[in-house]
Chains A and B, each alone.
Chain A
Amino acid sequence: MNIIVPIKQVPNLTDELEINGEGNNLDHEALQYVLNEFDEHALEEAVLTKESASGTVTVVGVDTTGELDGALHTALAKGADKAAKITGDFPRGTDSHTQARLLAEAIKDMSPDIVLTGVQAADDRDGQIGPMIAAHLGMPYVGVVTGVTVSGGKAVLHKEYAGGVMAEFEVSLPMVVGVQAAHQPPRYAPVSKIRQIAKTAKIDEIAGGEAAGAGSTVRRMFKPESAGHAEMWEGSPEEVAEKIAGLIRDKGLLRG
């Protein structure tokens, strides 16, 4: 079974985020990049799937930072079997439409049985990479998945809904899964092991095609502005609700 894990690197949120000079994006060059946390869960779920159902895990990503090798070596240390990077003129912050198309083109040639990727990423938060890869590949997609079990050409998926509701899906392979959380916390890869692997590992290079063009454009990006003060309303739920409705009316937020 071919298990494919598309990954992407995102700005490290433990660092101070900087806005670029134009004020419409992050200052990507000033930021440190780390692997998207949801992709770490996708990788963990992939390795767990391999361990229970056998198969090969291939990790693939668009090298937007010039530093993707580190993330790929880490993935290999955690139990992935193969690693590939898509290269080309794709700078940091490359939009998700482009990344999805590049990834889908690369994955198409890998004859995937199941594609596991993070349900979303901390950079754009639109959660579109998984569904778009599925659309490009003509495969079904299920997102917000917290558990994958594969057997006999089918995958049983646990999907989380709001309000603590869980659903179980049975989907025929091949398919794309957006992983919310793996069965167990992502394993730790000892740096000793990553450094050993970095010396010998082979990373396949895939030349990337055309950029797809972003699905949305950011007009202005700015840090949260702190201003004003909070007013605490007391009273019965009805009274408070009346005040809230009044405020919404006064601020002109109601149409018509």
Chain B
Amino acid sequence: MNYEFDFGLVLSHWRVFVWGTWTTIKMTLIAAVSGLCVAVVCAWVKTSGPRWSCWIVNAYIELIRNTPFLVQLFFFFFALPAVGLRWSPFVAALVAMIVNLGAYATEIIRAGIQSIPRGQIEAGKALNLKPWQIFRYIVIGPALRTIFPALTSQLTLLMLSSSVVSAISADDLTSVASNLQSQTFRSFEIYLCVAAIYLALAIGMNGLFKLVRRRFLDYPQQGVT
């Protein structure tokens, strides 16, 4: 083993890595917010929508959960343009991430909604609250508290799996690393550093979620008393 490590090269290209990291964070944020919106709608349909719409949502969830993210990405990027839907790698990657997260988060959110005792919802109905008021004032708080750990680890997984979108060169952290490695052939050093950046992001996200939970979700609730 007489390989000379050269991490100086990575350091001298730090701007590229910062840019890639920023793109990854941006994609994760957009996909997380939109994906959760999709999931809330699907969870609502699954718990209280009509039969036929339940089937559609179930089919969507099973399809996404039983195929790899990479194949979904290829489908959105290569297959859909063939039927006239053209988009850039960045948008295709985002759509794939949103669709993917939506399916996983639906099941989590549904579990949260079902963890609310029936009596509380009936109490809301008895007080003549509208369905969205019941959702907003009765369901969402305790449900969020129950599913918070599962949901946040799903979001961390989303951030990590966003590295896969480098397969269609969507400008994320792994893509810029791949470009740099094809110019410099310092693959090992580059990927080691990029892995470290992902690890730091994952640890940062966990820390952030812990803070959020302590501030907003732990009993006794702050700001209410």
Do A and B actually bind? Answer: no
List B residues at the A interface (Cβ < 8 Å). none
